[in-house]
Structure 1
């Protein structure tokens, strides 16, 4: 079993502390799910900002209480708990500690909102549903006259999260080296950690593995990968794309900064008898060597950081042989939202992907063009990512015992559930999209 690492910001998770509060749901209106935690049981060494409330600020707490309460009521997210209302009613948010909830939001905005969930101060009978409603109305949650005060409840991104060569290794380690066993719990057997492409909805009529293979095959087709193709993959994952490309007869070089991923990808490639066709390198994309007929990079640009997007696209072009093709899969958000998020420390950057930033289509187009690349094809399919995330979240929730046995405590589990639901809501509300792009060198041909 691999050892968990970096489950909370810059710290390692430990086994669940004695006195944990996992247990059967209570029958009162304050009923909490089996995953419930209570703040007094949270390990302050591991989760300092979850275990302790931020400093009291009566004015901020009162304003947050008024604004949040008004928004939740207007969006019909407050009301009786499940079992006390008609089944047709929409998702609901249930507060267990309203003062702590408002205090965290008043001090830390959306980070506080997520930390309050991690602390067990609120729950929902449909977490993704609540977050989707909020994402749909994100620009309306704060009255226009107060939006100029946004700086009071958001903080700047830490300079330590910059994706320098050393910083990029640390940031990748923080997420991808958590534990191969953890990812295998909720991913499908291909271990693909990016959006699948489904043949049709609802997805229950198709396996997630089949949908992931469809995604990979589309990218390989887009890049023109066939027998004898020299292929560079930037961002190995656990090796499924490299395996599938090598099976086509391509000669694959795949790069990663994750030691855990590299080790398992090599094992899988060797087990498939394809070690002679696919090489896994622990290497930064900025240090790419050689020229390739095709380059594929799946949801890697989001981890690069805006400061290094020029270097990323320059590396792509430098690696491309004359007449070559680049196939990218990337999550995108609106340009205005991206500019606002670029300098903001968010829940995702604090707990999940330090140093990351989702680009806009405009940013991708601008930086790729500046590197001498032309976008030839651009196809979006955000609904497929929402469905992928729903399946991941369901599998994760169904495997709580296995996750606990790997050493991940209930606070981590609530953080991960919130991350998956939060991401799903982004796609369901169309705040986020995912796109496959074909880039070539120079002018359109």
Structure 2
């Protein structure tokens, strides 16, 4: 317990952590700055060492296993909120600096995503029961950042429709345009673009998502305008007026960024351009947290903008436009977390209690990463030709007004 106490003393400054260790002894850490008062109990002596060595992974696993519990009204959200406002102190501890150095050394290996591995990684998350996702997503099953024009009053459904309309406006679609969508989810964006007159080729490596997407396109009467294909992005061929990628780049892996942008460039017609929507970080390049990497998104990585722009420079693409959405994903995931909590018993019936705790830990952690951490979302327009995108940005607003 001595090593863990040393770590927590340096880590927790804002708010306070009241910890009952596995022997029943009580400890209090922090209290020097504003923040929540969180009460935690450990039920396994092995956690005294595990939490010191790798707190980000083992705290989540212990919560999943029931060997880390909360007392006096505290919750996993409170615990992770306390973590999020003290994160700088954790990273400054010598043990964590050494651990992060090891992660950086293994970064490219952890994110190696050749086609077969990429497909397996995607299916790990996206081939879960669609009924699970229906518990907390909007009716269109949009599993990416929404756009909240009025954060306090917009429903999740309204915010996701806002997002789809804004993407269509940025694409400046004309009837008959050919659009390639890389990573098509459950089909909402492909359906939106087809409604705007485009002929869409939408690719995905998740059979479950493709099955639902095809059903939804048929229900919308758009099966003749959308071709859903089970295909890795590297295998797609042809030329398209627009290429769209929403929430896909996070799964590419840093060693494949050049391949990703080179493929987008190769798919575009001479006058075409691409739209890329991706989670990013406002800090220098880093690594994927161990809990997220092991349980939620194996092979995934949130890039720094410096890594993104270095890749587009090497490939020779123009960055025609960029928009940064800073808090929109916080509001989105807040809706998801609250909806999941409200229907938690249904999730437990689909899976089990351990799965529910894993999902709670995941949703809380990513929500707070957008509130108190370095995460944001960026949207890029890219082209090979400098004037493929109108040189006055007002065209997006004008298209929205006409919609």
TM-score by length of structure 1 reads 0.77
How much has 1:156 moved relative to structure 2?
Answer: 4.3
Aligned to 1:436: 379
Distance in 1 separating the partners of 2:295 and 2:118: 16
Structure 1 residue 366 displacement after superposition: 1.3
- Matches of 1:69 and 1:196, distance apart in 2: 38
Match for residue 173 of structure 1? 123
Which residue among 282, 294, 297 is the counterpart of 1:334? 282
Residue 56 (structure 1) aligns with: none
Is 2:352 aligned against 1:404? Answer: no
Change (3 A) 1:327 1:236: same
Tell me how many residue pairs correspond in the alignment. 370
For structure 1, the 5+ residue unaligned runs are 1-60, 82-88
Deviation of 1:137 after TM superposition, in Å, equals 3.2
Judged with a 3 Å threshold, the aligned counterparts in structure 2 of structure 1 residues 143 and 299 are, in CA distance, closer, same or farther, namely closer
2:37 is aligned, of 89, 92, 103, to: 92
CA distance in 1, matches of 2:17, 2:367: 21
Residues 1:116 and 2:62 aligned together: yes
Q: Residue 209 of structure 1 aligns with which residue? A: 157
Contact 2:53 2:95 in 1 (8 A): no
More strand by share: 2
Per-residue deviation, 1:133: 4.1
Does structure 1 residue 66 correspond to structure 2 residue 11?
no
SS in 1 for 2:287: helix
Q: Give the number of the structure with larger relative contact order, counting CA–CA contacts within 8 Å between residues 6 or more apart.
A: 1
Q: 2:220 aligned with 1:281, yes or no?
A: no
Provide closer, same or farther for how the CA distance between residues 302 and 151 of structure 1 changes in structure 2, counting only shifts above 3 A: closer
Query: How many Å apart are 1:101 and its aligned residue?
Result: 4.0
After superposition, where does 1:369-384 map in structure 2 within 5 Å?
A: 369-384=313-328
Per-residue deviation at 1:322? 1.1
Looking at structure 2, the residues matched to 364 and 160 of structure 1 have their Cα atoms a distance apart, in angstroms, of 18
Relative to the length of structure 2, the TM-score reads 0.85
Question: For 2:84, which of 128, 131, 135 is the aligned residue?
Answer: 135
Greater CA drift, 117-126 or 223-232: 117-126
Contact 2:251–2:301 under 8 Å retained in 1: yes
Answer yes or no: is 1:296 the counterpart of 2:216: no
Q: Does 1:413 align with 2:360?
A: no
Provide Cα deviations, 1:138-172, integer angstroms capped at 9, x if missing partner: 22225455554336996946958631111011101
* Cα offset, 1:117, TM superposition: 1.9
Work out whether residues 348 and 355 of structure 2, in 8 Å CA contact, stay in contact via their aligned partners in 1: no
Structure-to-structure mapping, 1:35-434, within 5 angstroms: 61-72=1-12, 74-79=13-18, 90-97=35-42, 99-120=45-66, 121-123=68-70, 125-143=74-92, 148-150=97-99, 156=106, 162-202=112-152, 205-336=153-284, 338=285, 340-341=286-287, 346-406=290-350, 408-434=351-377
